[in-house]
Structure 1
Amino acid sequence: MSKRKILVVDDNEDICLTIKQYLELHDYMVELAYSGTEALKMINSDVDLIVLDIMMEGIDGMELCRMIRDRVDCPIVFVSAKTMEEDKVQALSIGGDDYITKPFSLKELKARIDSHLRREERIRSNERYLLSSKNITIDLLANEVFCKGMKLPFTKKEYEIVKLLMLNKNVVFSKERIFERVWGLDSESQLDTVTESIKNIRKKIKAVDPETSYIQTLYGLGYKWDVTDEKQ
């Protein structure tokens, strides 16, 4: 099996070289770019994952990420000294898959890289078991939901609701019907649990993809999967 190629983009040469040396010890092929302009010349379909700094001269990491997403869809792991929650949310919402704050351990970085590449491999090998809509993908084998490549921390019931709505995109489900299909008629839970679960689903999706609508409320009727702007 050929080595997986990692592109590290950071204007700090010492950080680049340190990451390169460590990852090459673990059988990765690593290329370095010290600016956004240099990185754009190196990005192609052969790159398996990109490690990307945010604060760089010229084209910064956020802008570069947007440009990268027009070319390739490989995982992007941000590494940044920025620790504010809004920076992380922005980075993930524009196409990043992960975010590590500096200083970070090389061991953790490698673990994140390994995880994303395993996920990509699983998704490629199990495409027929995937449901996709806009930026949401459901892995039906693993019972996991991803938004922009990032795993969403859904409970079992939240997962079942999303799967039910995605499998029946043109169907409006009342709260009663969702409750019956997901919890069962003999459940001791209350009907309001459906409303609360959908609220939590929206909140978890919004943390990664704040600009896209997924579950539509039809007042007095129930809920349906929003197919507006969905790629055909």
Structure 2
Amino acid sequence: MENKNKILVIDDNRDICTTIKDYLQNYNYNVATVQNCRDALNIINQKFDLIILDIMMPDMDGIEFCKIIRDKISCPIIFVSAKLLEEDKIEALSIGGDDYITKPFSFRELKARIESHLRREHRLQNKEIYILSSGNIVIDILANEIICNGEKLKLTKKEFELIKFLIINKNIVLSKEKIFDNVWGIDSESYLETVTESIKNIRKKIRSLDKEKSYITTVYGRGYKWEVKDEI
């Protein structure tokens, strides 16, 4: 049975691309590979379901590539890299990555991560609620867009999901751990600090379009909650 999920692998190591492709094709994934980000930009509009992206590449690295495409592409992005520093992982996840796997990695683990993200995407696409609103903010779940005061917020995928999760649970205090588990997933290699960094970025972006309302409240020692004054 043909797997309809289409995956793009971007890595300057041709052998890694070939090995990943051969492995995933055994499970009927439709896999395309490129060895540099410039070539990836030429095919990125082919509606991939997931991207596997190396960081250290010549000409344009994976971080720069992710920054370029993230506002236009909503599919999960799994970074793969030999870079082990926590700062590198936080940067990759803060600019729109959904996961981070360090090299060398097992193909079984990679497949498990892919399946986890695709399951999460499937659940999101099958939600019965498509429009959420709060204050001057409207979320169009199907379009993966958030409008603030009539203008589209430029968000990473995780920032979008974080706002959606907070609004769905508005006026409820959510711990960083609960936010992390629901937005990044309990199987992610991200760090709790990524939640704090993402909320800081969200506040800055919302404030640029709406200076009248404060949406995300910090409840010290407990977490965060979405609340808008005079809104039930």
Q: Please tell me the TM-score bracket, short chain as reference.
A: 0.5 to 0.7
**1:126 alignment partner in structure 2:** 127
Distance (Å, rounded) in 2 between the aligned partners of 1:115 and 1:200: 18
Distance (Å, rounded) in 2 between the aligned partners of 1:203 and 1:128: 30
* Residue pair 2:130, 2:140 contacting (<8 A) in 1 also: no
- Equivalent position amino acid for 2:196 in 1: K
CA shift, 1:130, in A, is 7.8
Could you list the per-position Cα deviations for residues 104-131 of structure 1 after superposition, in whole angstroms to 9, with x for gaps in the alignment?
0000001101111111111001151785
* Residue pair 1:6, 1:49 contacting (<8 A) in 2 also: yes
Moved >6 Å (runs of 4+): 159-162, 198-202
Q: Do residues 205 (structure 1) and 195 (structure 2) align?
A: yes
C-alpha RMSD of matched pairs (Å) = 3.8
Aligned pairs (5 A) from 1:49-128: 49-128=50-129
Distance (Å, rounded) in 2 between the aligned partners of 1:121 and 1:110: 16
Distance (Å, rounded) in 1 between the aligned partners of 2:94 and 2:177: 19
Distance (Å, rounded) in 2 between the aligned partners of 1:130 and 1:94: 25
Distance (Å, rounded) in 2 between the aligned partners of 1:69 and 1:31: 19
* Residue pair 1:9, 1:16 contacting (<8 A) in 2 also: yes
* Residue pair 2:76, 2:117 contacting (<8 A) in 1 also: yes
Distance (Å, rounded) in 1 between the aligned partners of 2:107 and 2:133: 33
* Residue pair 2:80, 2:100 contacting (<8 A) in 1 also: yes
TM-score under structure 2 normalisation?
0.65
CA shift, 1:160, in A, is 9.2
Residue identity (%): 53
Cα 1:120–1:198 shift into 2, 3 Å: closer
Could you list the per-position Cα deviations for residues 15-65 of structure 1 after superposition, in whole angstroms to 9, with x for gaps in the alignment?
100100000001100000100101001101521100000000001000000
CA shift, 1:211, in A, is 1.9
**1:6 alignment partner in structure 2:** 7
TM-score under structure 1 normalisation?
0.65
**1:33 alignment partner in structure 2:** 34
- Equivalent position amino acid for 1:163 in 2: N
* Residue pair 2:170, 2:226 contacting (<8 A) in 1 also: no
Secondary structure of the residue aligned to 2:201 is coil
Cα 1:58–1:216 shift into 2, 3 Å: same
For these two proteins, the number of residue pairs brought into alignment is: 181
Distance (Å, rounded) in 1 between the aligned partners of 2:54 and 2:167: 37
**2:20 alignment partner in structure 1:** 19
CA shift, 1:215, in A, is 2.1
* Residue pair 2:7, 2:31 contacting (<8 A) in 1 also: yes
Distance (Å, rounded) in 2 between the aligned partners of 1:48 and 1:210: 28
Distance (Å, rounded) in 1 between the aligned partners of 2:178 and 2:22: 42
5+ residue gaps, structure 1: 139-145, 152-158, 166-181, 183-193, 228-232
Secondary structure of the residue aligned to 1:128 is coil
* Residue pair 2:10, 2:37 contacting (<8 A) in 1 also: yes
Distance (Å, rounded) in 1 between the aligned partners of 2:56 and 2:161: 23
Greater Cα offset, 50-59 or 119-128: 119-128
**1:163 alignment partner in structure 2:** 169
